[in-house]
Amino acid sequence: MPARLSTGRKIAWRLRGFAAILAASPACRSIPEGKVREMSQLEDAYRDLAEADGLAEVLDAGYGAFLAVLSVIQAHQDRHDDLFAAFVLAGGPASHGRFAIHAAPALSSAASARPIPDCGPRAVPSRDAADAIGRLGQLLVSKLTVAAAVAREPEDRRACTEAARHARALTSLFDGAPP
C-alpha cells in the first residue's frame, strides 16, 4: 500500500483491492454483464494513472493500465479489423509490461491479483481504440520513467524501467513507425 496516502485514500485503495480479488474469482468472471466497455476501461486506466502519485500508486495504476490494454487489444484481434497486425503485435509489450510490474515489490497484492478484464466484442472503431492505447502508452512511459527515478529498491527500479520500455514499444506500434 502506498506509504504517503491519506486515510481516506487508503480505505479507497483497500476497497479497490477487495473488488479486484472479487473480480478475480471464477464466480464473478462468469457474470456475463458488468463488463466494462473497452473505451471506458482505457479511460478509467488513463485517469487512474494520471492521478496516481507515488511509486506504489503508479505501479498499481500501471498494472491496471496494461491489463486494460490487454483486454482491449483482444477485442480487436479480428482479421477484419483495420489494425489487426498492430493489435496482435501489441499483445507482447502489454503482457511483458504487466509481468515486469508484477515483479515489483512495491506493487500491492490487491492490484496484482486483478485478472485481464473481459470487455467482450469490440464496440468502437479500431482507430479510436488505437489512439486511446497510444495515449495511455505515452502516459505509462512518462509515469514509469519518473517512478523508476524515485524508486529506492533496485527491484522496483528495474521493474519500472522494464515496464516503461514495453510501454514505449506499445506506443510505437500505433504511431505508424516500423516495429
Partner 1 sequence: MNDRATFGDLAQQAVRHLEAINRSGVDGTGVIALTAEVQEFAAGLDRLLPVLDRYLADIAKSASVHDGTKLGPWERAALSAPAALRSARRHLPRPVPTRTWSSVQRTASVTREMGNAGRAMTAGRDLLHMHFTTTPGGIREPHSEWARIIESPRVNRALLAEVARWVRPLADRGIQLTTAAARQRGQLPDDLRAVMTACRCLTLLTTSVDKAHAAEPLLGYDVRELHAIPVSVLRPRRVPERGATTAGLCQGVADCAERIRRHAETEPENPAWSQTLTSESLSQSAASATTVSQHTAAILRALAGQAAVKDMVRLSQKMTAAAQAAERSEQDWLAAARGWYYTHIDAKAKISATAAETADLALWTGRLAHANPAWTPGSGSGHPARPLGEQPAEPEDLPQTVNALLKATAAITTIAATDYIQLRGAAQHGRLLVPVVRRGPSQRGTKGFDRAPIEHAESVLANYRSAGTASAQLNAALMGLAAELQPRRQLKASARSAARTAATVTGLHRDGTVPSENVGQPEKKADRPAMKDEAPGPIERILTELGVTDADVLNHGTALDADIGRVVGQAAHDTAPNRWNHAMRELKSVADTDFIVEHVLAGRGFPGAPQEPRPRGLAPLAPEQPQMEAGK
Does 70 sit near partner 1 (CB under 8 A)? yes
DSSP assignment letter at 4: T
* Smallest separation, CB 141 to partner 1 (Å): 16
Please work out, in degrees rounded to the nearest 5, the angle formed at the alpha carbon of residue 82 by the alpha carbons of 78 and 87. 60
Binding residue for partner 1, selected from 10, 15, 22, 82, defined by CB under 8 A: 82
Does 3 sit near partner 1 (CB under 8 A)? no
- Of 115-134, binders to partner 1 (CB under 8 A) are 115-116, 118, 126-127, 130
- Of 25-54, binders to partner 1 (CB under 8 A) are 29
Q: Which is nearer to partner 1, 138 or 172 (CB)?
A: 172
* Smallest separation, CB 107 to partner 1 (Å): 7
* Smallest separation, CB 116 to partner 1 (Å): 6
DSSP assignment letter at 54: S
Using alpha carbons, select from 70, 71, 75 the residue that is nearest to residue 122: 75
Find the part of the chain contacting partner 1 (CB under 8 A) among 37-45, 101-109, 140-148, 149-157.
101-109
Please compute, for residue 21, the number of CA atoms within 13 A of its CA located in the half-sphere on the CB side.
8
Using alpha carbons, select from 74, 70, 80, 86 the residue that is nearest to residue 136: 70
Q: How many CB atoms lie within 10 A of CB 102?
A: 15
Residue 54 Rama label (left phi>0; alpha psi -120 to 50; beta): left
Query: What grid cell was written down for 139?
Result: 502516459
Q: Where does this chain bind partner 1 (CB under 8 A)? A: 29, 70, 74, 77, 79, 82-86, 88-89, 91-92, 94-96, 99, 102-103, 107, 109-110, 112-113, 115-116, 118, 126-127, 130, 172-179
